[in-house]
């Protein structure tokens, strides 16, 4: 389902006309909820960078949602860092001048990681993380629209019916359909597409 079809379906099912900005809002709110509820392959991004000698901070990508893994590459060997709370890093490495190959990382603030220990050299970094994919509103097509349009449509309908101040039973009906669709999507993404993981913290369910 492309965005043109999605808009037409929303208006037809709701039997109501909406502005373009309203339709975009319904759609993007539904996308956001789905991407925060289900971990889809389309959300995964990979980027590379380098540490700075004697600087314990590492910048975050602007579209960062959450991390899957960070690896320091030294002598062609990947060394995966352990995710820790910044307080752990401050406790374990209280003196920023204590340097070495980083072993741990934590989210220090909204645009930076903190590394422990402080890098003693320039290390190559490989970073795997989650980000919002481009919205179907902007691109006309999307992974959700192509592969699981029932979740996207029902999610947008929930937002549209609420916007219209629809009857509670109508809102409940579309929420039920939305929950059913996202449960099936979660079964695929967090079940069938993920049978194991190297680090804890990533969602995994028993596939049915």
pTM of structure = 0.81
Hey, how many other C-beta atoms are within 10 angstroms of the C-beta on 99?
16
Residue 198 token pair: 């190297």
pLDDT in tens, 118-152: 999 999 999 999 999 999 999 999 999 999 999 99
- pLDDT exceeding 70 applies to what percent of the chain? 90
> What residue ranges in the chain does DSSP mark as E strands?
44-50, 57-59, 66-74, 77-80, 82-83, 99-100, 104-109, 112-116, 118-119, 124-130
Mean pLDDT rounded to a whole number for the chain: 90
pLDDT in tens, 182-208: 988 887 767 545 445 545 555 554 544
């Amino acid at each position: 389902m492309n965005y043109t079809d999605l808009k037409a379906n929303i208006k037809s099912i709701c039997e109501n006309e909406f502005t373009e900005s309203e339709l975009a809002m319904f759609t993007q709110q539904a996308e956001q909820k789905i991407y925060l509820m289900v971990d889809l392959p389309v959300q995964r991004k990979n980027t590379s960078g380098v540490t700075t000698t004697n600087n314990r901070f590492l910048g975050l990508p602007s579209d960062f949602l959450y991390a899957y893994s960070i690896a320091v590459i030294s002598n062609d060997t990947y060394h995966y860092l352990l995710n820790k709370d910044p307080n752990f890093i401050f406790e374990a490495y209280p003196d920023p001048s204590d340097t070495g190959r980083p072993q741990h990382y934590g989210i220090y603030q909204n645009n930076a990681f903190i590394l422990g220990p402080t890098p003693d050299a320039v290390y190559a970094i490989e970073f795997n993380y989650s980000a919002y994919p481009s919205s179907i509103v902007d691109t006309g097509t999307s992974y959700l629209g192509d592969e699981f349009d029932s979740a996207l449509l029902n999610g947008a309908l929930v937002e549209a019916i609420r916007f219209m101040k629809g009857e509670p039973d109508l809102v409940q009906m579309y929420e039920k359909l939305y929950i059913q669709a996202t449960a099936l999507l979660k079964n695929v993404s967090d079940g069938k597409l993920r049978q194991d993981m190297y680090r804890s913290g990533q969602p995994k369910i028993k596939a049915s």
